[in-house]
């Protein structure tokens, strides 16, 4: 029986970080686990979401055409996934003509069934989430991500989402495992119960995207386009419907509401399950490119290996909930669970067999209490993995590792080896066989999570069948063959110290610079020079900059300049200052009214589009060129100086 699963397709305006790698790691794990369960074929699709407005903007900022940009970025994803050892079958790009064809085909099916109509839309749009936002006034922050929304008015094609309230509620009711975990399902039920607005699924203002098969210039809304990629990736292989869409919780609504509605409208089978995992947090926030708190997987893999990173993320964080990443926690867990836990069990067991039995697995049925513990471990781990509760499954396996460790210590094979009585020698055989057989079983279970390390130990145990081909039937106690010669022994997880963190941090700086270069967001040389010790400034230099708190009293767009806002800013002087700032793409004028900002008050005036600007607004400049205004958490009086 086939099993078809998907990761989300990733926006290519940023390289993979630990947050985006998380879905992909988990999907790779599930693929390997499902193979062990006996599904065949098990097919995993991933890919790149290339048509979003933010991608179009990122390409423009990098000064290249969108296709050239996305081709380069998709290649970066492919090379990162290879580095992380992801075993996917299809990488679908939404710029692929075969995908365009599927999108148009699905649209036409919905249209034929009466679920598409033409209408006009005015409202708020969140560029960051690529979603129309209901219930916010123009310019207000997006309720999902907190970033500014933009007002759009367009004549669009609409999808009659409102017609699917009842069918969706029935779907959640009849098929309780359609959305997992359960608390996410409840969220979706509550969302749909409030009523559904029809969804605008084309846009006229975009160029970069899939043209809709209609009379005028309409480009498909990116989410209509993106979701269908799950189908285009396998259209030729007869694999639809998907058995599992694995996603992060922030994109659940698109998968659990819009996607089944599109498919119902097109009279196509629905995916069997959508599982929403939580977020990887770093420095207390969701790790994301726009927050600037990302950690890249590449440098970690270079220092501790992909397996250790996968293990950490899947053991440390309950799948479905949020959890934090830190280098410290990674190294701690590596040393305690991998170097001291599994690694130690492997080297101890293999060395004892080498020393006492010339590297030959002894003939013994093993100790009944360990055989029973192994059976129970397999049962519990199976339950946990079937529920996608990987942390619980791994916890169970590591408890078993402790049981075997304790058993070895109690049996003291180093003493038994010195006692030539037949009782002692029989006990020694039993001890060594039990340890080796337990190690084989642990290894097989660990394989979906840490494929390379498991394979490594498997080969050291002298196993002849490839670990990739094992199934759960092979996990019964006693399958380890007596007389088997073990391979050469080598440490799998050498201990790490704090210098590993320094190495990862240094590599992270290099990787960040490499990616900034690649994505066309590298800062000019002068910015780089500022961090160089030679170009540090003294406090006397710093106090020359007059930074003040100001309040915007009026704001309007500068005609003919999309990016510029013309503002009057009160900084506690007799008259408000005139300031022209390049923030209009992120901050519409209405949003600036009354807002407190930080101003550089003693800059020489300069003319922008004929208007003399007397000061500069301070903002963080993020990758992609988007400004984020500096502000205060507490209230501060207008005119206050910053020092
Ligand atoms: N392109 C859309 C998905 C379309 S699927 C038809 C998208 N892309 S994304 O690149 O922004 O995010 C891809 C996935 O990464 C999402 O599932 C998202 O939840 C996940 N993550 C991004 N940051 C994350 C964390 N910090 N932690 C965990 N997952 C996170 O959305």
Residue range 472-509, pLDDT digits in tens: 989 999 999 999 999 999 999 999 999 999 999 999 99
Segment 335-358 mean pLDDT? 98
Q: How confident is residue 608, by pLDDT bands cut at 50, 70 and 90?
A: confident
d(CA 22, ligand 1 centre) in Å: 9
* pLDDT tens-digit map of 270-279: 999 999 999 9
Q: Which of 47, 76, 250, 262 to mutate to test the pocket of ligand 1 (most atoms within 8 A of CB)?
A: 250
d(CA 181, ligand 1 centre) in Å: 17
Single out the residue of 205, 218, 23 nearest to residue 103, CA to CA. 218
CA distance 553 to 316: 49
Cβ–Cβ < 8 Å for 574, 618: no
d(CA 129, ligand 1 centre) in Å: 10
Question: How many beta carbons lie within 10 A of that of residue 542, not counting itself?
Answer: 10
Is pLDDT of 255 > 60?
yes
pLDDT at 537: 67
pLDDT at 591: 87
Segment 386-415 mean pLDDT? 98
Pick the residue whose CA is nearest to atom 30 on ligand 1: 19
pLDDT at 620: 83
Is pLDDT of 610 > 80?
no
Interhelix angle for 53-62 vs 66-83, to 10°? 100
Length of the chain: 643
* pLDDT tens-digit map of 66-90: 999 999 999 999 999 999 999 999 9
Q: How confident is residue 151, by pLDDT bands cut at 50, 70 and 90?
A: confident
pLDDT at 569: 93
pLDDT at 521: 64
Q: Which of 167-171, 237-241, 245-249, 636-640 has the lowest mean pLDDT?
A: 636-640
Task: Give the C-alpha distances (Å, rounded to integers) separating 448 from 25, 34, 314, 397, 451.
Answer: 10, 9, 11, 13, 6
Question: How many beta carbons lie within 10 A of that of residue 600, not counting itself?
Answer: 15
d(CA 7, ligand 1 centre) in Å: 9
d(CA 204, ligand 1 centre) in Å: 26
Percent of the chain at pLDDT exceeding 90: 72
Is pLDDT of 528 > 70?
no
d(CA 280, ligand 1 centre) in Å: 11
Is pLDDT of 213 > 70?
yes
Q: What is the mean pLDDT of the chain?
A: 92
Cβ–Cβ < 8 Å for 99, 93: yes
Is pLDDT of 101 > 50?
yes
pTM: 0.80
CA distance 519 to 13: 8
Single out the residue of 385, 372, 358 nearest to residue 444, CA to CA. 385
Letter string b/e over residues 225-249, b meaning 16 or more CB atoms within 10 A of that residue's CB: bbbbbbbbbbeeeebbebbbbbbbb
d(CA 196, ligand 1 centre) in Å: 24
Phi–psi pair at 66, nearest 5 degrees: -55, -40
d(CA 279, ligand 1 centre) in Å: 9
Q: Which of 248, 255, 289, 322 to mutate to test the pocket of ligand 1 (most atoms within 8 A of CB)?
A: 248
Q: Which of 17, 18, 19 to mutate to test the pocket of ligand 1 (most atoms within 8 A of CB)?
A: 19
Segment 611-639 mean pLDDT? 81
Q: How confident is residue 530, by pLDDT bands cut at 50, 70 and 90?
A: very low
Pick the residue whose CA is nearest to atom 16 on ligand 1: 248
Q: How confident is residue 126, by pLDDT bands cut at 50, 70 and 90?
A: confident
Is pLDDT of 363 > 90?
yes
Q: How confident is residue 536, by pLDDT bands cut at 50, 70 and 90?
A: low
Is pLDDT of 523 > 70?
no
CA distance 391 to 70: 35
Pick the residue whose CA is nearest to atom 14 on ligand 1: 20
Mapping DSSP to helix (H, G, I), strand (E, B) and coil, where does residue 621 land?
A: strand
Cα 106 off chain centre by: 28
Pick the residue whose CA is nearest to atom 12 on ligand 1: 10
**β pairing state of 131-133 and 116-126:** antiparallel
d(CA 249, ligand 1 centre) in Å: 9
Segment 37-48 mean pLDDT? 97
Pick the residue whose CA is nearest to atom 6 on ligand 1: 227
Give residue ranges with CB within 6 A of ligand 1. 8-11, 19-20, 22-23, 49, 226-227, 247-248, 250-251, 279-280, 286-288
Is pLDDT of 297 > 90?
yes
Q: How confident is residue 408, by pLDDT bands cut at 50, 70 and 90?
A: very high
Q: Ligand 1, closest atom to CA 286?
A: 26
93 vs 544 pLDDT, higher one: 93
d(CA 310, ligand 1 centre) in Å: 17
d(CA 50, ligand 1 centre) in Å: 14
Q: Ligand 1, closest atom to CA 129?
A: 31
Segment 272-292 mean pLDDT? 91
d(CA 248, ligand 1 centre) in Å: 6
d(CA 12, ligand 1 centre) in Å: 11
Pick the residue whose CA is nearest to atom 24 on ligand 1: 19
Q: Ligand 1, closest atom to CA 249?
A: 19
Cβ–Cβ < 8 Å for 246, 23: yes
d(CA 223, ligand 1 centre) in Å: 13
Segment 143-151 mean pLDDT? 79
DSSP conformation class of 122: E
Q: Which of 131-135, 275-279, 305-309 has the lowest mean pLDDT?
A: 131-135
Q: Ligand 1, closest atom to CA 287?
A: 26
Q: How confident is residue 623, by pLDDT bands cut at 50, 70 and 90?
A: low
Pick the residue whose CA is nearest to atom 17 on ligand 1: 248
Q: Which of 6, 16, 49, 296 to mutate to test the pocket of ligand 1 (most atoms within 8 A of CB)?
A: 49
Q: How confident is residue 140, by pLDDT bands cut at 50, 70 and 90?
A: confident
Letter string b/e over residues 371-385, b meaning 16 or more CB atoms within 10 A of that residue's CB: bebbeebbebbbebb
d(CA 8, ligand 1 centre) in Å: 7
Segment 38-65 mean pLDDT? 90
> Which are the contacts of 379, defined by CB distance < 8 A and separation ≥ 6?
none
Percent of the chain at pLDDT exceeding 70: 96
520 vs 642 pLDDT, higher one: 642
Q: Ligand 1, closest atom to CA 8?
A: 5
Q: How confident is residue 544, by pLDDT bands cut at 50, 70 and 90?
A: confident
Pick the residue whose CA is nearest to atom 29 on ligand 1: 19
Q: How confident is residue 57, by pLDDT bands cut at 50, 70 and 90?
A: confident
Give 36: exposed, middle or buried? Use CB within 10 Å, 0-12, 13-18, 19+: buried
Q: How confident is residue 533, by pLDDT bands cut at 50, 70 and 90?
A: very low
pLDDT at 529: 36
Pick the residue whose CA is nearest to atom 15 on ligand 1: 20
Q: Ligand 1, closest atom to CA 11?
A: 10
CA distance 59 to 71: 11
Q: Ligand 1, closest atom to CA 282?
A: 26
Q: Residue ranges of the alpha helices (H) in 412-492?
A: 413-416, 422-446, 451-460
Q: Ligand 1, closest atom to CA 17?
A: 23
Q: How confident is residue 522, by pLDDT bands cut at 50, 70 and 90?
A: low
> Which are the contacts of 605, defined by CB distance < 8 A and separation ≥ 6?
612, 613, 614
Is pLDDT of 128 > 90?
no
d(CA 47, ligand 1 centre) in Å: 12
Q: Ligand 1, closest atom to CA 20?
A: 15
d(CA 186, ligand 1 centre) in Å: 21
């Amino acid at each position: 029986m086939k099993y078809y699963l998907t990761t989300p397709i990733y926006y290519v305006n940023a390289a993979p970080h630990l947050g985006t790698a998380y879905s992909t790691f988990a999907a790779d794990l599930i693929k390997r686990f499902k193979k062990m369960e006996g599904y065949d074929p098990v097919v995993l699709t991933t890919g790149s979401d290339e048509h979003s407005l933010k991608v179009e903007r990122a390409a423009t900022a990098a000064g290249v055409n969108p296709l050239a940009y996305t081709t380069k970025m998709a290649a970066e994803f492919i090379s990162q996934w290879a580095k992380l050892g992801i075993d996917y079958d299809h990488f679908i790009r939404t710029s692929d003509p075969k995908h365009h064809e599927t999108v148009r085909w699905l649209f036409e099916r919905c249209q034929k069934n009466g679920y598409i109509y033409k209408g006009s839309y005015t409202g708020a749009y969140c560029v960051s989430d690529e979603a129309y936002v209901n219930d916010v006034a123009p310019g207000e922050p997006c309720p999902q991500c907190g970033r500014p929304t933009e007002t759009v008015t367009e004549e669009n094609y609409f999808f009659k989402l409102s017609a699917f309230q009842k069918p969706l509620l029935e779907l959640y009711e009849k098929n309780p495992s359609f959305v997992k975990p359960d608390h996410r399902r409840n969220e979706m039920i509550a969302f749909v119960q409030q009523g559904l607005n029809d969804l605008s699924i084309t846009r006229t203002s975009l160029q970069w995207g899939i043209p809709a098969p209609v009379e005028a210039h309409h480009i498909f809304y990116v989410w209509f386009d993106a979701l269908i990629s799950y189908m285009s990736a396998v259209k030729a292989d007869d694999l639809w419907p998907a058995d599992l869409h694995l996603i992060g919780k922030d994109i659940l609504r698109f998968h659990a509401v819009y996607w089944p509605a599109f498919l119902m409208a097109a009279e196509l089978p629905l995916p069997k399950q959508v599982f929403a995992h939580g977020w990887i947090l770093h420095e207390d926030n969701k790790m994301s490119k726009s927050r600037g708190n990302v950690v890249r997987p590449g440098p970690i893999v270079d220092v501790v290996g992909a397996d250790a990173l996968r293990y950490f993320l899947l053991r440390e964080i309950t799948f479905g909930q949020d959890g934090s990443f830190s280098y410290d926690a990674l190294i701690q867990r590596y040393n305690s669970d991998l170097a001291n836990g599994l690694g130690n069990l492997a080297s101890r067991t293999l060395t004892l067999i080498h020393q006492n039995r010339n590297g030959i697995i002894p003939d013994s049925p093993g100790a009944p209490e360990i055989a029973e513990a192994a059976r129970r471990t397999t049962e519990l781990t199976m339950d946990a993995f079937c529920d996608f509760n990987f942390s619980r499954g791994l916890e169970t396996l590591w408890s078993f590792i402790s049981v075997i460790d304790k058993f070895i210590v109690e049996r003291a094979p180093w003493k038994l080896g010195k006692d030539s009585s037949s009782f002692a020698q029989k006990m020694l055989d039993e001890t060594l066989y039990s340890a080796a057989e337990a190690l084989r079983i642990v290894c097989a279970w660990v394989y979906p999570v840490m494929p390379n390390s498991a394979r490594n130990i498997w080969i050291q145990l002298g196993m002849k069948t490839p670990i990739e081909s094992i199934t759960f039937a092979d996990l019964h106690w006693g399958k380890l063959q007596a007389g088997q010669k073990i391979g050469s022994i080598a440490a799998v997880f050498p201990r790490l110290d704090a210098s590993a963190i320094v190495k990862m941090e240094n590599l992270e700086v290099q990787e960040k610079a490499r990616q900034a270069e690649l994505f066309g967001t590298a800062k000019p040389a002068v910015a780089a020079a500022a961090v160089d010790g030679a170009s540090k400034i003294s406090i006397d230099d710093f106090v020359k900059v007059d930074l003040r708190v100001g309040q915007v009293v009026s704001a309007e767009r500068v005609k003919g300049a999309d990016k510029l806002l013309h503002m009057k800013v009160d900084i506690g002087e007799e008259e408000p200052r005139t300031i022209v700032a390049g923030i209009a793409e992120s901050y519409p004028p209405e949003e600036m009214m009354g807002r407190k900002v930080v101003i550089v008050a003693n800059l020489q005036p300069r003319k922008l589009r004929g208007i003399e600007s007397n000061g500069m607004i301070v903002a963080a400049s993020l990758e992609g060129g988007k400004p984020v205004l500096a502000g205060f958490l507490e209230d501060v009086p207008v005119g206050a100086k910053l020092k």
